[in-house]
Amino acid sequence: DVKVTQSSRYLVKRTGEKVFLECVQDMDHENMFWYRQDPGLGLRLIYFSYDVKMKEKGDIPEGYSVSREKKERFSLILESASTNQTSMYLCASSFPAVTEAFFGQGTRLTVV
């Protein structure tokens, strides 16, 4: 059974904190993605990675960074959390040139 696992289901952080969201996949996928999901806006791509140590900005990278030191792990970092980063964060992975992406269960982050 394929699996993308996000380290936390719910997180509450304070404004200005550095926040780490972790994602691990067990499918040997090259591609990994971080999205945020907000009501009425759908899924918006923050960053993606197509190989270890490689990363590309998505549509809304401001205020975020990522790290991919191992193939199976992709981390999203909020350098200094702000209230407008309160959202559902979804990690996904896929093989190259394959349409289907597999998603984790999501992390609901609240910044207070």
Partner 1 sequence: QKEVEQDPGPLSVPEGAIVSLNCTYSNSAFQYFMWYRQYSRKGPELLMYTYSSGNKEDGRFTAQVDKSSKYISLFIRDSQPSDSATYLCAIDTGGFKTIFGAGTRLFVKA
Binding residues for partner 1, rule: CB under 8 A, are 4, 9, 31, 33, 35, 39-45, 48, 50, 56, 58, 90, 92, 99-101, 103-106
* Phi, psi of 110, rounded to the nearest 5 degrees: -115, 125
Residue 105 Cβ vs partner 1, minimum distance, rounded to whole Å: 5
Nearer to partner 1, 55 or 85 (CB): 55
Residue 6 Cβ vs partner 1, minimum distance, rounded to whole Å: 8
Q: How many CB atoms lie within 10 A of CB 11?
A: 16
Residue 90 Cβ vs partner 1, minimum distance, rounded to whole Å: 6
The four Cα atoms 63, 88, 5, 91 give a dihedral, to 10 degrees, of -50
